[in-house]
Structure formats: structure tokens, C-alpha cells
Amino acid sequence: MDEQAVREHAEANLKALLSGDIGQAAQVMSRELRSNLGPIVAMLPMPLTDGSVESISMTKTGYLAVLRLVGQAGEIHLETRWKDRDGRPTIVEASRQHEEAAPPPLEGAEATEGTEGSEG
């Protein structure tokens, strides 16, 4: 298993998700994940309207592919962990990537506190 093989499988998985074919998308998942699809499907902003494979990186034990999924209910980044199972890339874990919200803009005097002393 190499990065290109994971990318090809991740893109096929994304295509299946975008078409709404959860059964086809599940084909690249481990037996354990397929037997417990409910929580995975529940975190998806279905129906999906757009998506992309944002990144693929090697980990100590496999690969991590991050999918950006956009739907009517919003947008998420789904982290999928891939390992070689029976000679093919397989998703063994999927979780929503939690992004920290940007802090609200500061107003008035508070907005200048961070800039004091930065001129010199």
C-alpha cells in the first residue's frame, strides 16, 4: 500500500459518498466499521453537494486521508485512517476533525491591547 493507492481508494470513496451510495462507500471500510455504519453516516452533512480529498499523509501504522465534505447541513472534515487489509487499502477508523472556531473580533479598547509595544 502506498500513498497513490490510498488516494485512489479515498477518491472512489468520496465519489460514492457524493452520489449517496453509502453501500458502495462502505466497501473500502473494515468489517468492524461496516457493521457499525450508523454513527459514521450520522456525522455526514447529508445530502452531500461537494467534497474533496484534502490531504493524505503517512502515519506510523498506515495513512491518514482527510476528506472535506459539504452538504446542505454544513461542512465537515472527515479523518479516515487507512491500513492494508488483505492486500488493499481499507478505512479502519473515521472521525470528524474538530476545528477550533476563530475567536470573535474584539471591539473598542480590547482590540488595541495586542498591538501595544509592537512598533519598536
Res 99: pLDDT: 64
Which of these, 77, 80, 40, lies nearest to 57 by C-alpha position? 80
Identify the H or E element spanning 100: none
pLDDT tens for the 120 residues of the chain, in order: 999 999 999 999 999 999 999 999 999 999 999 999 999 999 999 999 999 999 999 999 999 999 999 998 899 999 999 999 999 999 999 999 876 555 566 665 444 444 444 444
For the record, the C-alpha cell of 54 comes out as 484534502
Domain 3-98 listed as CATH 3.40.50.2300: no
Res 73: pLDDT: 87
Res 98: pLDDT: 74
For the question of whether the overall pTM of this predicted structure is more than 0.85, the answer is: no
